[in-house]
C-alpha cells in the first residue's frame, strides 16, 4: 500500500497476500461469467476505473500483454497510452526515476515490460502511482494470475491440484513458484539440470510451505498431474538458442508425455508457442489444450489486478 493507503503496485506474486490473490481470482471469474452473452464492449457497466489512464512501457515485444491491458482498462472505463521505450527519452538515457516522476503526474497507473527486475523496482519506488510488472527476465506474474484463473475455471479449485512444469527454468516458472508459496497446490517441476529454476524463488517458496518438487524427469513430474505447463525454449532475453534446443530436446510436451498425466488433465502455455519444439501440434491444438482460454484470461485477470492496484476491486 502507498503511504496514503489508496494504491499498491503488482510486482510479484510472492509480495501479495494470499487473501488478495484469491479475491482477484474469484472476482475475475465472476466478472468473466457475468459478461457471458453480453456484447464485449458493454460490460463492467459500473466503469470502476472511469477517467483513469494506464501508461504502458514496452522494452520487449508483446502481443497478449499489450492488447489485454489495453482492452482491460477500456472495458473498466479508462484509457491507455502504449509507449515503446525506444521512442521515449528513456531510450536515450533519461533515468527510470525521472520517467517515473513525469508519468506519475499524468497517468494513474503504469505497466512496464522490461529486462532487469531492478528497473521495475526503481520505477515502482519512484512513481507515486501503482506500477504493474508486465514481464521481466525474472518473472511474469500477470501471466500466472491468468493461468491460475484458467485452472480455477477448468478444475473448480486451485487448492489440491497438481501442476507439472516441463522445460526451461525461466521467468514464467518463477512466478508459478511464487504462486505455490501462496496457494495450496502442488507444483512438480522438471527442467534440465543446466536450466534449473531460480534458487531464491524456490528457497522462498519452501520456507513458505510450498508443495514444490524439482527434478529432471518430465515423466515423473507429469505423473497424475491435473495441468501440464510448458513455455518456449528460448525466451526473449536468451541468446544461446542452439545449446538450449539441445538441452531441452527430451522436454517436449507430446502425446506420449501427456499420457502420464491425469485422464482429464489440461495443457497450458503462455504463448507465443513453437510447434514441434516445446510442444507438439497434437497437444497444443488437441482436446486437452486450454491455451485460448488462458490467453483470454489475461484480460479478466488483469482487470482484477488493475482494480486491486487502485483499491477498487
Ligand atoms: N504471454 C505473453 O505475455 O505474451 P506476449 O509476449 O505476447 O505479451
Ligand atoms: N519466457 C518467455 C515468456 C513470453 C511471454 C519470454 O520471456 O520470452
Cell of 176: 508459478
Give CA–CA dist 300/305, Å, rounded: 9
Give CA–CA dist 258/232, Å, rounded: 17
Cell of 194: 543446466
**pLDDT score for 39:** 62
Pocket test for ligand 1, best of 60, 61, 62 (most atoms within 8 A of CB): 62
Protein residues whose CB sits closer than 6 Å to any atom of ligand 1:
62-65, 135, 143, 270-271
What DSSP string describes 81-119?
A: EEEEGGGSGGGGT--HHHHHHHHHTT-SEEEEE-S-HHH
Q: Which atom of ligand 2 is nearest to the CA of 143?
A: 5
Question: How far does the centroid of ligand 2 lie from the alpha carbon of residue 104, in Å?
Answer: 28
**What confidence category does residue 6 fall into, taking pLDDT thresholds of 50, 70 and 90?**
confident
Task: Give me the mean pLDDT over the 263-291 stretch.
Answer: 98
Question: How far does the centroid of ligand 2 lie from the alpha carbon of residue 34, in Å?
Answer: 31
Q: Which ligand is nearest to the CA of 63?
A: 1
**pLDDT score for 87:** 85
**pLDDT score for 123:** 97
Convert the pLDDT of each residue in 185-211 to its tens digit: 999 999 999 999 999 999 999 999 999
pTM recorded for the entire structure: 0.96
Q: Which ligand is nearest to the CA of 142?
A: 1
Tell me the catalytic residues: 113, 140, 143, 231, 270, 298
Rounded percentage of the chain residues whose pLDDT exceeds 90: 89
Question: How far does the centroid of ligand 2 lie from the alpha carbon of residue 161, in Å?
Answer: 24
pLDDT above 80 for 42: no
Question: How far does the centroid of ligand 1 lie from the alpha carbon of residue 308, in Å?
Answer: 21
Cis peptide before 272 (omega within 30 of 0): yes
Sign of the torsion formed by the C-alpha atoms of 105, 107, 113 and 118: positive
Closest C-alpha to ligand 1, atom 3:
65
**pLDDT score for 165:** 98
Convert the pLDDT of each residue in 57-92 to its tens digit: 999 999 999 999 999 999 999 999 999 988 899 888
Q: Which helix (H) or strand (E) segment is 77 a member of?
A: none
**Cell 452473452 sits at which residue?**
37
Convert the pLDDT of each residue in 134-162 to its tens digit: 999 999 999 999 999 999 999 999 999 99
Give CA–CA dist 13/15, Å, rounded: 5
Q: Which atom of ligand 2 is nearest to the CA of 271?
A: 5
pLDDT above 60 for 43: no
- The whole-chain average pLDDT of the chain stands at 95
**pLDDT score for 205:** 98
At residue 5, φ and ψ (nearest 5 deg) are 75, 10
Task: Give me the mean pLDDT over the 115-124 stretch.
Answer: 97
Give CA–CA dist 217/209, Å, rounded: 23
**Cell 525454449 sits at which residue?**
233
pLDDT above 50 for 3: no
pLDDT above 90 for 242: yes
What DSSP string describes 141-175?
A: HHHHHHHHHHHHHHHS-STT-EEEEES---HHHHH
Contacts of 132 (CB under 8 A, 6+ apart): 9, 10, 11, 69, 109, 110, 111, 112, 142, 305, 306, 309
**pLDDT score for 307:** 96
Question: How far does the centroid of ligand 1 lie from the alpha carbon of residue 179, in Å?
Answer: 19
Q: Which ligand is nearest to the CA of 269?
A: 1
Amino acid at each position: 500500500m502507498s503511504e496514503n493507503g489508496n494504491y499498491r503496485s503488482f510486482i510479484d506474486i510472492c509480495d501479495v497476500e494470499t487473501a488478495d490473490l484469491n479475491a482477484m481470482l474469484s472476482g475475475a471469474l465472476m466478472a468473466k461469467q457475468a459478461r457471458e452473452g453480453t456484447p464485449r464492449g458493454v460490460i463492467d457497466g459500473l466503469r470502476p476505473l472511469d477517467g483513469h489512464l494506464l501508461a504502458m512501457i514496452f522494452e520487449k515485444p508483446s502481443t497478449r500483454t499489450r492488447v489485454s491491458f489495453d482492452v482491460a482498462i477500456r472495458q473498466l472505463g479508462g484509457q491507455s497510452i502504449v509507449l515503446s521505450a525506444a521512442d521515449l527519452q528513456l531510450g536515450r538515457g533519461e533515468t527510470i526515476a525521472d520517467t517515473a516522476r513525469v508519468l506519475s503526474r499524468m497517468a494513474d497507473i503504469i505497466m512496464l515490460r522490461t529486462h532487469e527486475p531492478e528497473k521495475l523496482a526503481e520505477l515502482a519506488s519512484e512513481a507515486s502511482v501503482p506500477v504493474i510488472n508486465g514481464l521481466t527476465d525474472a518473472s511474469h506474474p500477470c501471466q500466472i494470475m491468468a493461468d491460475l484463473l484458467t485452472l480455477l475455471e477448468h478444475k473448480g479449485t486451485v487448492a489440491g491440484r497438481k501442476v507439472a512444469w516441463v522445460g526451461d527454468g525461466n521467468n514464467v516458472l518463477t512466478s508459478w513458484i511464487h504462486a505455490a508459496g501462496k496457494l495450496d497446490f502442488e507444483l512438480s517441476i522438471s527442467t534440465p539440470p543446466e536450466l534449473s529454476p531460480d534458487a531464491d524463488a524456490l528457497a522462498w517458496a519452501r520456507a513458505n510451505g510450498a508443495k514444490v518438487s524439482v527434478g529432471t524427469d518430465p515423466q515423473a513430474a507429469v505423473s497424475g498431474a491435473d495441468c501440464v505447463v510448458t513455455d518456449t525454449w528460448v525466451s526473449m532475453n536468451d541468446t544461446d538458442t542452439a545449446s538450449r534446443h539441445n538441452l531441452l530436446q527430451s522436454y517436449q510436451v507430446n502425446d506420449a508425455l501427456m499420457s502420464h498425466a491425469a485422464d482429464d488433465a489440461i495443457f497450458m502455455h503462455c504463448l507465443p508457442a513453437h510447434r514441434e519444439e516445446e510442444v507438439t501440434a497434437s497437444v497444443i491444438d488437441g482436446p486437452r489444450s486450454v491455451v485460448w482460454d488462458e490467453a483470454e484470461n489475461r484480460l479478466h485477470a488483469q482487470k482484477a489486478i488493475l482494480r486491486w492496484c487502485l483499491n477498487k476491486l
